Amino acid sequence: MSFEQFVLANEPLIRMGFFFGVFALVALWELASPRRVLKLSRKQRWTANLGIVLLNTLVVRLLFPMAAVGMAALGMEKGWGLLNNFDVPFWLAVPLAVVAMDFVIWLQHSTPRS
């Protein structure tokens, strides 16, 4: 089984692993170096935030099963996307795509609103 096939076959587990890994790092960072006094307890905030993530995941999985992975596979098959226009190895394309997507999400949250 190639790396690409492994990633496609285990996408939900890989996604959850990254989510909980990043969550744990951010949680430890918050415990070690809080930026402000909390209005709600950590337990209340983390429970609410994880509940939203769980609800979002369930809704997306029920309403759009395999939508993201299916579109990614279709884009790869059709040669759509920036990384498909260059001879980038798969092992490098994955982290580049993750960083690019994270950067776009960061831009959405940091853009001033009028």
Q: What is the pTM of this model?
A: 0.54
> Tens digits of per-residue pLDDT, 13-66?
888 899 899 989 998 998 899 888 888 888 898 899 889 988 988 888 787 767
Q: If you ran DSSP here, which 8-state letter would residue 85 be given?
A: G
DSSP string for residues in 55-88: HHHHHHHHHSTTHHHHHHHHHHHHT-SSGGGTT-
Q: How far apart are CA 85 and CA 99, in angstroms?
A: 18
Determine the Cα–Cα distance for residues 81 and 75; give it in Å rounded to an integer.
7
CA R_g for the chain: 18
CA distance 93 to 75: 14
